[in-house]
Amino acid sequence: MKLVRYGAAGAEKPGLIDAKGDLRDLSAHVDDIAGEALSDATIGRLAALDQASLPLVPGNPRLGPCVGSIGKFMCIGLNYSDHAAETGAAIPEHPILFMKATSAVVGPNDTVSLPRGSEHSDWEVELGVVIGKPAKYVSKEDALDYVAGYCVINDVSERKFQTQLTGQWTKGKSCDTFGPIGPWLVTRDEIEDPQSLAMTLDVNGERRQTGNTATMIFTVAEIVSHLSQLFTLQPGDVISTGTPPGVGMGMKPTPVYLKAGDVMELWIEGLGSQRQSVVMDA
């Protein structure tokens, strides 16, 4: 199933994309694509609905973030062997964890606004993992059972803020609009192997990133298990699992960064596409 949230920012309604690609309203069945709606029981109930009988949503409404009421927005750094190589970083012994402020979350096609004075903002296509039920001390073998589904995430990053403002990476990762999520949440039953998904990112029509989740250093199962040893993962928590090579700061001989007027287009196999125009904060 492809679950979506549509409508004006802050007032999104729950929906799904049917087999024909049409948007259907789920408001009579769940309040939001969040919390309890992400449980196996509720997802099973929604999957059993006659999609053709659901109200058809007319027009082409805005798609919001595919998950509402996100509790924790966790990100894994340097999790692709080929990306670590391009940055000159050593392969980490354990997953590198940093947090992204939930205020950064926007829809998949919303505008990305660079903070004042930004000259080092970068792109990162990433596989997003959405937790469906509480997970604590979960084994690697059982970890995927706690996943509600998967989505596309653009982990937009201001590299100077990230590395030169003294402190943690969170500073460069949490600027407003730096967390586009969606277009939809694809339930885990539709993704046979999260470690075999192709992904791309273009800037202004030029291919910048080409990768596959097969080159992740830590698998989705290993990440979920590892994090659950540290703290409880809750329904609606989001994990962004790292990016393949091709980021702007890794370009040779001179890094290339985002500027006003740029357009980013992201795609992950089976999970859909995003498109963001870039502007500069006033």
Residue range 196-214, pLDDT digits in tens: 999 999 999 999 999 999 9
pLDDT score of 109 = 98
Q: Which amino acid, 13?
A: K
162 shares its domain with 273: yes
Same domain, 80 and 47: no
In-domain check, residue 193: yes
Q: Identify any residues that bridge with 183 across adjacent strands, giving them in sequence order.
A: none
Q: What is each CA distance from 208 to 38, 42, 43, 88, in whole angstroms?
A: 33, 38, 35, 18
Domain that holds residue 260: 73-280
pLDDT at 91: 85
Residues 110 and 14 in one domain: no
pLDDT at 117: 87
Say if 48 falls within a structural domain: yes
pLDDT confidence of residue 72: 98
Q: Are residues 275 and 143 in the same domain?
A: yes
Q: Are residues 226 and 134 in the same domain?
A: yes
Report the pLDDT value the prediction gives residue 165, as an integer from 0 to 100: 74
Report the number of distinct structural domains present in the chain. 2
Task: Tell me how crowded residue 92 is: count the other CB atoms within 10 A of its CB.
Answer: 14
Q: How far apart are CA 140 and CA 220, in angstroms?
A: 9
Spatial distance between the Cα atoms of 149 and 69, rounded to a whole number of angstroms:
16
Decide if 63 is inside a domain.
no
pLDDT of residue 276: 98
Q: Is residue 207 part of a domain?
A: yes
> DSSP per residue over 85-119, as a string?
HHHTPPPPSS-EEEE--GGGEE-TTSPEEEPTT--
Same domain, 117 and 168: yes
**Same-domain check for residues 43 and 148:** no
Whole-number pLDDT of residue 248: 94
Co-location of 186 and 229 in the same domain = yes
Do 127 and 199 lie in a common domain?
Answer: yes
Planar angle of CA 126, 128, 133, nearest 5 degrees: 165
Same domain, 240 and 134: yes
Question: Which stretches of the chain drop beneath a pLDDT of 50?
Answer: none
The answer to the question of residue 67 being in a domain is: no
CB 32 within 8 A of CB 68: yes
Distance from chain centroid for Cα 67: 10
Q: Domain with 145 in it: what CATH number?
A: 3.90.850.10
Choose among 278, 206, 217: nearest CA to 243: 217
The encoded tokens of residue 72 equal: 């924790």
- Same domain assignment for residues 132 and 190: yes
